[in-house]
Chain A
């Protein structure tokens, strides 16, 4: 949970079930609420949808018992600083997935733009089309923001961990 001071720059915070209709509604609402130029708007829009869809798909806490994905519980926030917007999401994951996510994000953060594009192309073409994702969400986020992604894993219990990811979109 976030402390009171951490909300100082917050323009959006949500905690609960995340599904496609909520993502669609809030992403379009943000287009109207965030004061910035079109290029920055588009980057925020792309990163927000990509990261919140990860919560919806991959949260280990699925809220609709009739579905195995697409109704994940978690939280997301958008904060505004002087020079950037920060989009953050958090959700429960299986403990064994934590190390893979840290490893992948560390690799992505070491790559320059051309290396990221190359990795994106190679990874996308290998992804089975029936998978719910294309396995390039983190790479794509790194490319769109031109900033390092901040991935953290926190303990919950023997089976689960808590995963948070933050992406920074520069204002210019």
Chain B
């Protein structure tokens, strides 16, 4: 039995009246994990804790390879604290020889996002692939 089969996908659909929650699609069969939209909800840790737990179990305990695709057009500073925790989990997995790829899709019109991503790289020691979208 594949190790990832014991884990379920983690899916959170868009909430039209609450655009401050991102869409989440963590696929246990492929290891592709996506955050899409905007993230500025209250008490961000309550939203992100299941994501952190899923990533930790999938990558650190089961040692499955992960591709994290971040497609956030806006995230507030509180969310950035939790995104940092996600990246820290993946850094520990890499240090444990797990294959991890991190792709950050960013808006070319956003004048601050490249520095923001670079700050995450400096803080975590990770290499993040920066991919522009129009």
Residues of A at under 8 Å CB distance from B? Answer: 20-21, 23-24, 28, 37-39, 42-43, 45-46, 49-50, 53, 56-57, 69-70, 117, 120-121, 124-125, 127, 129-134, 136-137, 140, 143-144
Could you name 22 residue pairs across A and B whose Cβ atoms are closer than 8 Å? A20-B41, A20-B42, A24-B19, A28-B19, A42-B74, A42-B109, A42-B112, A46-B112, A49-B76, A53-B78, A70-B42, A117-B115, A124-B77, A129-B45, A129-B81, A129-B82, A132-B78, A134-B80, A134-B81, A136-B77, A140-B77, A143-B115
Known contacts A50-B77, A56-B42, A124-B84; 5 additional CB pairs below 8 A are A124-B80, A124-B81, A133-B78, A134-B78, A143-B112
B residues with a Cβ closer than 8 A to A are 17-20, 40-43, 45, 48, 74, 76-78, 80-82, 84-85, 107, 109-112, 115, 119, 122-123
The 3 closest A-B CB pairs, nearest first, are A38-B109, A134-B81, A134-B77
Task: Evaluate whether A127 and B112 lie within 8 angstroms (CB atoms) in the complex, with A49-B40, A121-B122 already known.
Answer: no
Complex Cα gap A43–B122 (Å): 23
| Smallest CB gap from A20: residue in B | B42
Residues of A close to B110: CB separation below 8 A: 39, 42
Please give the distance in Å from A24's CB to the nearest CB on chain B.
Answer: 5
Given known A24-B20, A117-B115, A129-B45, contact A45–B74 (CB-CB < 8 A): yes
- For B119, give its contact among A24, A42, A121 (CB under 8 Å): A121
Which of chain B's residues have a CB closer than 8 A to the CB of A124? 77, 80-81, 84, 123
Can you name the residue of chain A whose Cβ is closest to the Cβ of B41? A20
In the bound assembly, the distance between CA atoms of A133 and B82 in angstroms comes to 11
Nearest neighbor of B82 in chain A, beta-carbon distance: A129
Asked whether A127 and B42 contact (CB < 8 A) given A53-B76, A117-B115, the answer is no
Residues of A within 8 A of B74 (CB): 42, 45-46, 49
Let me know if B119 and A120 touch, CB within 8 A: yes
